[in-house]
Amino acid sequence: MSPSWRTALIRSGLVFLISLVLVVGFWFHREFYQIGLYPLMAIGGFVTFLVIIATSWVLSGGLPARRAKTDLVVSPAEGESIARRETSTLVAPAAESVPRPGMTVRVVTETGASYGTARVVSAFRTLLEDLALDDIRDAGHANVKAFRAMWESSRRWKSEEPVTVLRLMRIGGKAG
C-alpha cells in the first residue's frame, strides 16, 4: 500500500471514528436534545461541522479552506510538466513567497491557467549555484546550462542568491 493511500485510510478512519462518537453523543443526549427537529438540525449540524473542520485542521496542519486558496504560480512549461508528473521539484527565489510543506496548492500560471493540484512535501533553501544536478533534473531541466537559461529568461542570475527548493506531489489526475 502506498504511503498516500495509507495516510488517506488512517485519516478517513479517524474521521469515521469521530462521526461515530458524535452519533453516540446524540443518542445519549436524546432527552436533552428534545428541542425539536429543526433547532437540533441547526445546532447539531453546526457542532458537527465545527468538529469535522477542527479534526481536519489538526490532521493536516492548516485550515482546508485557507489551503485551497493557495496558488503556486509556475510557467506554462512547468505547469505542463507537473500535470504530467514529470516534474516533482520547483526552484524559486527565497525572497518570493512560496507555499509551505503540508499545503495543498493549485498549480496555476500567471494568466490563470490551472494545472491541477499538488501537495508540497518539503521545502529547503540553498544557493543558486549550489543547486544539485538531481534537483535541477527533477525540476525538468536537462542540465545546469538549461536551468540557467530558463532562470535568466525572467531574472538575473546571482550565483549566491538564496533559493527555495520545493518538492511536490501531484494530487489527483492521471499520470501523463
Binding site for another protein (CB under 8 A): 28-29, 31-32, 54, 57-58, 61, 94-95, 98, 100-102, 121-127, 129-130, 133, 142-145, 160, 162, 164-165
> Which strands sit side by side in the sheet containing 71-73, from one edge to the other?
71-73, 104-108, 114-127, 162-171, 89-93
Nearest-approach distance from CB 113 to another protein, in angstroms: 26
Give the integer Cα–Cα distance in Å for 3 and 169.
Answer: 12
What is the DSSP annotation of 68-112?
A: HT-EEE--HHHHHHHHTT---EEEEETTS--PPTT-EEEEE-TT-
- Local structure of 114: helix, strand or coil: strand
In terms of CB distance, is 94 or 173 closer to another protein?
94
Nearer residue to another protein within complex by CB, 74 or 120: 120
Closer residue to another protein, CB minimum distance, 1 or 142? 142
Residue 141 near residue 150 (C-beta atoms within 8 A): yes
Q: Considering the complex, what minimum distance in angstroms separates the CB of residue 12 from another protein?
A: 17
Kindly state the smallest distance separating residue 112's Cβ from another protein, in Å. 26
Considering the complex, state which of residue 83 and residue 123 has its C-beta at the smaller distance from another protein: 123
Residue 80 vs 94, nearer CB to another protein: 94
CB of 110 to another protein, least distance (A): 22
> Rounded to the nearest whole angstrom, what is the least distance from the CB of residue 102 to another protein in the complex?
4
Q: Taking a C-beta distance cutoff of 8 angstroms, is the pair 75, 109 a contact?
A: yes
29 three-class SS: coil
